[in-house]
Amino acid sequence: MDLVIRTTAELAAVTTILLLILATPLAWWLARARHWSKEVVGALVSLPLILPPTVIGFYVLVALGPESPLMAPLHPFGIRTLAFTFEGLVIGSLFYSLPFAVQPLRTAFELIGDRPLEVAATMGAGPLDRFVTVAMPLARRGFLSAAILVFAHTVGEFGVVLMIGGAIPGETEVLSTRIYQLVESLDFAAAHRIAGGLVVFAFVTLLLLLLVERRWSVIER
């Protein structure tokens, strides 16, 4: 059980860190761009919110399979597939949790407005300097919300991780798939313990988000 918890926590932590890095420039572009294509990109980013997790898991599984052209460059290094590996779980989680990182960051960047950036520009700050020293600190609430949401959402994943990882004990088995296996084996008592723990985790996560929002609202006043 400890190994399952560790795998779940590692998956959530790695996914959160990578998504904060990858989603930040994307969210900034979506918040600041004036081109019509940003709505198309925004819709693509939001697709995981309405697509069944098994659909995402299936296509990621195919993309990471040995016959996929995406895997061909790795064949000379002895890597034929990333399916049913921890690395594959991370890739699938990045796609599935992407909107939970991009949306809070995009909203936070949009709320900054143009004025602080224009003031920084008049003081000689370049685009990168304005982003790092002005935009990111002002959007810190968005970063915190994104981190909490992505971590919690990744912990609760089921369809994607089952499709890509196969719930291999000691390698790709996480808490959500362990519950499924316990129910299949009719061990409802053990399933209740894990499910109850995840209910508590979800409640604490939502409460933390509400407290963060309330705290920043008071500070901004």
- 51: closest CA among 91, 101, 97? 97
Question: At 21, which CATH number?
Answer: 1.10.3720.10
Residue 151's pLDDT is what? Answer: 92
93, 83 contact by CB (below 8 A): no
115, 135 contact by CB (below 8 A): no
pLDDT over threshold 70, residue 29: yes
Residue 132's pLDDT is what? Answer: 83
The number of domains in the chain is 1
Q: Which domain holds residue 161?
A: 2-220
pLDDT over threshold 70, residue 220: no
pLDDT over threshold 70, residue 119: yes
For residue 216, with 0-12 CB atoms within 10 Å meaning exposed, 13-18 middle and 19 or more buried, which class applies?
A: middle
Across all residues in the chain, what is the average pLDDT? 87
For residue 44, with 0-12 CB atoms within 10 Å meaning exposed, 13-18 middle and 19 or more buried, which class applies?
A: exposed
Share of the chain above pLDDT 70, in %: 96
Residue 45's pLDDT is what? Answer: 92
Residue 13's pLDDT is what? Answer: 93
pLDDT over threshold 60, residue 170: yes
Residue 78's pLDDT is what? Answer: 83
Collapsing DSSP states into helix, strand and coil, what is residue 164? helix
How does residue 156 score in pLDDT terms, banded at 50, 70 and 90? Answer: confident
Residue 217's pLDDT is what? Answer: 60
pTM, two decimals, is 0.88
